[in-house]
Amino acid sequence: MVYNGFELGSFFEIPEDSDCWQIMLAINPCLQATFTFLQMYFIFMNSRLNIHKFKMVARLGLMHVVATNVCVWIRTLVRESLRVFTDHNRATGLQRTEDFLILATPSLATSTPALTAASNYTCLRKDIMGNIVRDASPYLFPLLIEYSLIGATVLFIMWQNIGRCPRYLEEDDIPDHVSVTSRKAHSKVDCIGASKGLFCGLLVLVAAIISLVLFFVLIEQPEHRQLAIFLADVSHAAILLLMMVATLVGFARNRKLKFAQDKPGDLDAILQRVSAFGLFLYAVFCLLAAALSPLPHIPNLLVLVTEALVILQVLLQLLYISDVAKRAVYMPEHDLSKPGRQVVTFLLLCNLALWIVYTFEIKKVEANPVQLDFYGPLNWAVILRVTLPLAIFHRFHSAVVLAEVWKSSYKAREY
């Protein structure tokens, strides 16, 4: 909705006597913000609703909203790619292409300071918001894509469940020997078996933030540019290696837990796999750039190793989450040791650290010399716009799923 607000603010920079002035430039952001809010409210209130009346109308309506989310996703990618295209054209001096884009997409011209001179001449644009749209867009548009992905997935699962009638656990289904006090204890959250994982994970989180800050400080200094790139890649690879080792340890520790009867829903599995596919695409594009470039060059080797580790780590983590999410504590002695909970805690914080790193990765387009030399600045920027939002979402959603595992799989039970 903030993204839509900035888009609406750009409309007021165009005077009414300009050839670029169109009332739809104001109506579309308002409609999209309204749709975003109404969909959020509907999902929040009715995500577990089972529809048994007017099923044909419900199927048509839900699938229409799913398609709308996909259209919003595609529209956002196209707009951001055009924004990158205009910035590139400004740098290369392709004035004729800029003029075409201004006439074809006036809202882009008003929201892209790269076209300030041309848009002021063509659209008589008033500079009110300045560079705020361009500076905020890289951080906001991934959230819009992630929101569309979540909305489409939840509504698609609702569409699948129209007419179905699942069985819910009733109060009478709880065994009689479980006291009221014990039932209340089920909802309590304890932190047993998480201290070491919490401490180590916080260290990784702090180290990742420090590396990110150092990167943006050093990258502005030409003499330290190579050091900044080396520091970013090495820290990323180190975190991935630690996560892979922790995942293998988690597999061994979680063998002591038993499989639970209640399996997780399809929502988390779908979101994990779709977002992992985007992360795989991002890693594969980087691998191709590094593998088809001169290997003796140190940055190429770093990119090659780091992205190979990304693919391996994501595969291991997907398998691990799929396994541990279906297990639970079922023996009294495990209530004190909580096997594998240290690993879950550590991976949760590591995914949060990588989520922060990937969120700021969109601002590091100029700091990826291997990818830039191979694909070119324009193509690489577009690739980032397409794949990186899913990579960001995968890390965030993995942390959310691990938090749910941390709470539900290790809660105290009656034996």
Domain membership of residue 376 (yes or no) is: yes
Instruction: List pLDDT tens digits, range 339-384.
Output: 777 888 899 999 999 998 888 776 665 567 788 888 887 888 888 8
CA distance 188 to 335: 13
Residues 120 and 99: beta-carbon distance below 8 Å: no
* Structural domain boundaries, residue 361: 190-408
Closest listed residue to residue 278, CA positions, set 139, 140, 394, 381: 394
Q: Are residues 142 and 23 in the same domain?
A: yes
H or E segment and range at residue 157: helix 132-160
Sequence letter at residue 327: R
Closest listed residue to residue 235, CA positions, set 391, 361, 50: 361
Q: Are residues 339 and 213 in the same domain?
A: yes
Residues 349 and 201: beta-carbon distance below 8 Å: yes
pTM of the model: 0.71
Structure tokens at 159: 């569409």
Hey, which residues does 328 pair with through a beta bridge? Answer: 258
Sequence letter at residue 58: A
Per-residue pLDDT at 62 = 93
- Helical spans, DSSP H, in 161-259: 180-186, 195-218, 225-253
Per-residue pLDDT at 311 = 93
Give the residues of the chain that fall short of pLDDT 70.
Answer: 88-122, 125, 127-131, 166-194, 260-265, 294-298, 329-338, 362-367, 409-415
The total domain count for the chain is 2
Residues whose CB falls within 8 Å of the CB of residue 410, separated by 6 or more in sequence, listed in order:
192, 193, 328, 329, 338, 341, 344
Per-residue pLDDT at 191 = 55
Sign of the dihedral defined by the CA atoms of residues 133, 139, 145, 151, in that order: negative
Q: Are residues 291 and 351 in the same domain?
A: yes
Structure tokens at 304: 């090659």
Domain membership of residue 162 (yes or no) is: no
Q: Are residues 231 and 131 in the same domain?
A: no
Q: Burial of 249 by CB count in 10 Å (0-12 exposed, 13-18 middle, 19+ buried)?
A: middle
Closest listed residue to residue 344, CA positions, set 262, 243, 261: 243
Q: Are residues 145 and 199 in the same domain?
A: no
Report the Cα 14 to chain-centroid distance in Å: 33
Domain membership of residue 108 (yes or no) is: yes
Q: Are residues 364 and 254 in the same domain?
A: yes
Q: Are residues 88 and 223 in the same domain?
A: no
Q: Are residues 82 and 200 in the same domain?
A: no
CA distance 155 to 43: 8
Residue 327: how many other CB atoms lie within 10 Å: 19
